[in-house]
């Protein structure tokens, strides 16, 4: 099938030729199509049957350029191949938190999937101050259950290397290397500043040698530590949820990298929300304490539950396929020590990558609406400065934190709960 970019007008004709989709719609001649993509890369179409709106799918299609910039920035459509493969992996190991896939095509660079029409993008809902009581439980399960099966602790060397080869994703990794781990820390043309940002604010990030060395260390880890198959972009805009269910979407950045990058991306976005809601809760006419406290508890529970679930998976795998390496009298002690040290390593990476994710959202090209859409620029600047204060400590002193609760304490020291 030859590639062509779809439009709301051409989507119905395209769907008519797909047998798996024909089973979803009772009338393919009466479809309503809406383009709803608000991301940086792709086009997304919601498709409904007019007379039976419960008959619905979503189409996500990659185009040969970076959508946020336009056709002047070419970008290979092969990123959709990685997304399709990642969705298949996530479905195998954590189907309860992945949308159902009805059809995919590497030729057309698209996937047709479940319309999560009873759910909403988590970032938008959190901006409105909504609480999701099962979020930490669900995301920690997704992380532990999708990451562990692709580690060297679970796969043979040959299996792991074959998977790494399949997921070499250079173009989207380059986006992360540039926009998350390089450009915000230098005077780069892609950075974006609002009118209240001073030169001193820029220098705070871009002229600090200790900070830049620490970020360079995280960039090196990102580029060289192929620990597990990552989602690669697990911020709160890549999650759709309601109070009972949580789905992870958009894994086109999938590649083999450091486990802490995925965990840190999610936790870093929670800390961004924590600082933003000192202002946003007041904009909603509420006292900030309750909601910001929920955010901190969610960050803590996510790490603590992830750590526990990852270890449970590891122990279960060892019991199912015992290794002769630990087959000696005190082997259980050595195995426990190995788990302890590796989880400690993940925690330090989680802190460092969370910090980088936080800082890039302040001066980098792609902002977060939590902060960037605060209308009072002076209030926004104070939020941004608080984010910077915390993130700098996190990445530079990442090996000194002994628990996630110490990170929450740091957040409250910078911006007290009240």
How is 286-339 classified by DSSP, letter by letter?
Answer: S-SHHHHHHHHHHHHHHHHHHHHHHHHHHHHHHHHS--GGG-STTHHHHHHHHH
What is the structure's pLDDT at 66? Answer: 79
Strand, coil or helix: what is 30? coil
Kindly list the structural domains of the chain, giving each domain's residue range(s) and its CATH number in brackets, ordered by start: 11-114 (3.30.200.20), 120-414 (3.90.1200.10)
Distance CA(384)–CA(407), nearest Å, equals 17
* Pair of tokens at residue 298: 């969610």
Say what the pLDDT of residue 145 is.
Answer: 98
Among the listed ranges 60-74, 280-294, 378-392, 393-407, which one has the minimum average pLDDT value? 60-74
Beta-sheet pairing, 110-114 with 120-121:
unpaired
pTM of the model: 0.95
Is the model's pLDDT at 46 over the cut of 80?
yes
Supply the mean pLDDT for the chain: 96
349, 221 contact by CB (below 8 A): yes
pLDDT grade, residue 418 (50/70/90)? confident
What pLDDT was estimated at residue 400?
A: 98
Spell 350-369 as b/e; 16+ CB within 10 A means b.
bbbbbbbbbbbbbbbbbebe
% of the chain at pLDDT higher than 90: 94
pLDDT digits (tens, 9 = 90+) for 334-363: 999 999 999 999 999 999 999 999 999 999
Q: Which of 76-80, 150-154, 375-379 has the lowest mean pLDDT?
A: 76-80
Residue 144 reports pLDDT greater than 70: yes
Mean per-residue pLDDT, 177-206: 97
Which residues contact residue 246 at a Cβ distance below 8 angstroms, ignoring those fewer than 6 apart?
A: 97, 132, 134, 135, 138, 139, 142, 239, 240
- In this prediction, residues 290-295 reach a mean pLDDT of 98
Over 70: is that where the pLDDT of 39 sits?
no
Distance CA 354, CA 347 (A): 10
pLDDT at 1: 82
Taking 70 as the threshold, does the pLDDT of residue 118 lie above it? Answer: yes
- What is the per-residue pLDDT for 272? 98
Can you give 63-131 as a three-state secondary structure string? CCEECCCEEEEECCCCHHHHHHHHHHHHHHHCHHHCCCEEEEECCCCEEEEECCCCCEEHHHHHHCCCC
How many Å from the N-terminal Cα to the C-terminal Cα in the chain?
58
Q: What is the mean pLDDT of residues 140-165?
A: 98
Question: What six digits make up the tokens of 320?
Answer: 């199912």
Q: What is the pLDDT of residue 75?
A: 87
């Amino acid at each position: 099938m030859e590639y062509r970019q779809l439009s709301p007008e051409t989507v119905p004709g395209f769907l008519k030729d797909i047998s798996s989709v024909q089973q979803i719609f009772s009338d393919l001649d009466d479809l309503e199509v809406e383009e709803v993509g608000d991301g940086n890369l792709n086009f997304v179409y919601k498709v409904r049957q007019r007379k039976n709106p419960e008959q619905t799918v979503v189409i996500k299609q990659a185009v040969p350029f970076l959508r946020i910039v336009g056709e002047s920035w070419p970008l290979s459509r092969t990123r959709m191949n990685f997304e399709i493969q990642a969705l298949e992996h996530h479905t195998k190991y954590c189907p309860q938190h992945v949308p159902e896939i009805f059809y995919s095509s590497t030729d057309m660079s698209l996937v047709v999937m479940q319309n999560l029409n009873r759910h909403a993008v988590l970032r938008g809902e959190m901006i409105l101050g909504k609480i999701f009581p099962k979020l930490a439980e669900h995301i920690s399960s997704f992380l532990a259950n999708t990451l562990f099966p692709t580690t060297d602790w679970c796969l043979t060397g040959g299996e792991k290397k074959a998977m790494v080869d399949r997921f070499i994703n250079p173009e989207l990794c380059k986006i992360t290397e540039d926009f998350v781990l390089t450009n915000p820390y230098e005077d780069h043309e892609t950075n974006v500043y609002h009118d209240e940002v001073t030169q001193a604010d820029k220098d705070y990030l871009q002229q600090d040698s200790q900070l830049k060395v620490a970020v360079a260390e995280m960039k090196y880890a990102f580029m060289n530590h192929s620990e597990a198959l990552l989602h690669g972009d697990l911020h709160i805009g890549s999650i759709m949820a309601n109070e009972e269910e949580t789905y992870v979407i958009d894994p086109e950045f999938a590649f083999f990298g450091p486990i802490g990058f995925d965990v840190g991306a999610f936790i870093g976005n929670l800390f961004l929300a924590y600082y933003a809601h000192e202002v946003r809760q007041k904009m909603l006419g509420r006292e900030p304490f309750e909601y910001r406290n929920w955010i901190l508890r969610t960050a803590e529970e996510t790490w603590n539950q992830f750590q526990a679930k990852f270890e449970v998976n590891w122990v279960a795998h060892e019991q199912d396929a015992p290794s002769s390496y630990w087959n000696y009298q005190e082997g259980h002690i050595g195995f426990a020590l190995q788990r302890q040290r590796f989880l400690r390593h993940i925690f330090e990476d989680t802190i460092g990558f969370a910090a980088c994710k936080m800082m890039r959202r302040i001066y980098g090209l792609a902002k977060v609406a939590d902060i960037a859409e605060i209308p009072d620029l002076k209030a926004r600047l104070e939020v941004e400065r608080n984010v910077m204060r915390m993130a700098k400590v996190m990445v530079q002193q990442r090996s000194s934190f002994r628990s996630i609760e110490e990170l929450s304490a740091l957040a409250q020291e910078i911006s007290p709960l009240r």
